[in-house]
């Protein structure tokens, strides 16, 4: 169970890095005009928040072991 949680935590960190990278490279891209910036920021923040909540649950589960 601990190995699973550690692996899950590592995967979540990678997902967060990927999301940040993708959104950073999309902002200002010709296919995404500037008026979409706010919407993209909101989506990014929602995704990151979700990932961070999962990370927190994994960390809490690891600490309780």
Sign of the torsion angle spanned by Cα atoms 49, 9, 11, 22 = positive
pLDDT at residue 34, rounded to an integer = 55
Q: For the chain, give every domain's residue range.
A: 2-63
In 3D space, the residue among 32, 52, 54, 31 whose CA is nearest the CA of residue 41 turns out to be 32
The angle, 0 to 180 degrees and rounded to 10, between the axes of the packed helices 37-63 and 2-26 is 170
pLDDT of residue 52: 92
pLDDT at 53: 92
pLDDT in tens, the chain (65 residues): 778 888 988 999 999 888 888 777 665 556 655 566 777 788 888 888 999 999 999 989 888 87
Q: What is the pLDDT of residue 28?
A: 55
């Amino acid at each position: 169970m601990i190995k699973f949680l550690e692996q899950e935590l590592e995967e979540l960190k990678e997902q967060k890095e990927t999301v940040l990278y993708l959104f950073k490279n999309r902002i200002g891209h010709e296919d995404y005009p500037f008026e979409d910036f706010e919407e993209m920021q909101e989506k990014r923040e929602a995704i990151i928040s979700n990932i961070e909540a999962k990370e927190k649950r994994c960390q809490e589960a690891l600490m309780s072991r």
